[in-house]
Amino acid sequence: MKLVAGLGNPGKEYEGTPHNVGFQVVDLLLKQLGISGFQQKFKSQFLQTSVKGEACIFIKPQTFMNRSGLAVAECANFYKIPIENIVIISDDLDLPPGKARFRYGGGHGGHNGLRSIIDSLANNQFRRVRIGIGRPAGKRNVVGHVLGRWSKAEEKFALSVIYLVLNELMSFLETTKFENTSFSAPELA
């Protein structure tokens, strides 16, 4: 069994913000799989399905970013999902829009959602996909940046790399292949 958790904040006011890119990736992945029908379970929007004969769970925690670990741990513990079969998708300030990084294990890098998950699982060896959102320009603060709106150029770069990420996530779901690697939008390569 595999668990894919996209991080974000619940509520219409957060839709389309850089901080909710994890939710966006899960939605696009499920669209690519031709699956819909979230239900409320484990403090999350929850969907269970089968990909190539293996059970897969997709969640979008509804606990707000800083408490994402509560939802992820509740689901992972209930189904006894091995840590190496958990993938967390989050935004990353230290990567520019149009860049993404797959990584196995590691720290939270200052990301409160990842910090919450590490604390709640008491383990940092899960897999993670980090989508670049870049640091704020000028005098804009970090909170205003992550909860603000993408510029047209940032959104274009982010979507371009997200489609590359979706292919890699499909490979993980179908084969459990997951390499530590980085991706760049074609326009940035």
Catalytic site positions: 19
3-state SS assignment for residue 1: coil
Q: What is the DSSP string of 16-59?
A: TSGGGHHHHHHHHHHHHHT----EEETTEEEEEEEETTEEEEEE
Please state, in angstroms and as integers, the Cα–Cα distance from residue 60 to each residue in 6, 113, 153, following that order: 5, 12, 26
**What is the bridge-based pairing of β-strands 86-92 and 127-132?**
parallel
